[in-house]
């Protein structure tokens, strides 16, 4: 895609620090890391978000994420790391080409994901479950057509 910064990285029009690459995916250092070594796993096919990611790319994305996470754990002797993806601007997505973040974590890194946890009332969890299961059943029909 012409104006996509990640497509330009994939096409080598923009330099990036590439850690891993195969036919389907590229892994590059995030230039604005939340911790050093923060890596972006980017499928080579342009797709806006997770729902647009072609099914044949799932495995390659997770394979690359595991290679990177393993290397970060070994190299930085990590006790933990995060895998995350922002999908949609309201969720913090800023580049609209799907990508998965792999981020080293440290005990004293002062990074917090601030969560405002909700609580289901009596019987509500089943109501939510029933509604979502019903949507899964109807959406699987259209999903197979994507
Ligand atoms: Zn792109």
The pTM assigned to this predicted structure is: 0.91
User: Hey, which residues does 81 pair with through a beta bridge?
Assistant: 104
Active site residues per annotation: 99
Can you tell me the distance from the alpha carbon of 129 to that of 135, in angstroms, rounded to the nearest whole number? Answer: 10
Return the pLDDT at 1: 67
Ligand 1: centre distance to CA 41 (Å): 13
Pairing of strands 25-29, 39-43: antiparallel
Q: Render pLDDT for 64-75 as a digit per residue (tens, 0 to 9).
A: 999 999 999 999
Strand order of the sheet with strand 100-105? 18-21, 25-29, 39-43, 100-105, 80-84
Ligand 1: centre distance to CA 7 (Å): 4
Ligand 1: centre distance to CA 42 (Å): 9
Can you tell me the distance from the alpha carbon of 134 to that of 31, in angstroms, rounded to the nearest whole number? Answer: 42
Ligand 1: centre distance to CA 97 (Å): 5
Q: Render pLDDT for 103-119 as a digit per residue (tens, 0 to 9).
A: 999 999 999 988 899 99
Residue 48 clears pLDDT 90, i.e. is over it? yes
Q: What topology is assigned to 5-113 in CATH?
A: HIT family, subunit A (3.30.428)
Ligand 1: centre distance to CA 33 (Å): 20
Residue 143 clears pLDDT 80, i.e. is over it? no
Return the pLDDT at 140: 79
Mean pLDDT of 87-93: 97
Q: Which is more confidently placed, 141 or 58?
A: 58
**Whole-number mean pLDDT of the chain?**
94
Return the pLDDT at 139: 86
Residue 13 clears pLDDT 60, i.e. is over it? yes
Mean pLDDT of 11-17: 97
Return the pLDDT at 38: 98
Q: Render pLDDT for 112-140 as a digit per residue (tens, 0 to 9).
A: 988 899 999 999 999 999 999 999 998 87
């Amino acid at each position: 895609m012409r104006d996509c910064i990640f497509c330009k990285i994939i096409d080598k029009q923009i330099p990036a620090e590439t850690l891993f690459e195969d036919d389907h995916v590229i892994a590059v250092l995030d230039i604005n890391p939340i911790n050093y070594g923060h890596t972006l796993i980017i499928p080579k096919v342009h797709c806006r978000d997770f729902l647009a990611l072609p099914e044949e790319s799932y495995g390659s994305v997770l394979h690359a994420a595991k290679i990177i996470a393993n290397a970060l754990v070994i190299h930085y002797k990590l006790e933990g790391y995060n895998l995350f993806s922002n999908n949609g601007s309201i969720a913090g997505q800023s580049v609209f080409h799907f990508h998965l973040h792999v981020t080293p974590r440290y005990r004293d890194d002062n990074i917090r994901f601030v969560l405002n946890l909700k609580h289901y009332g009596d019987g509500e969890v089943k109501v939510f479950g029933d509604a979502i299961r019903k949507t899964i059943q109807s959406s699987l029909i259209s999903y197979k057509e994507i």
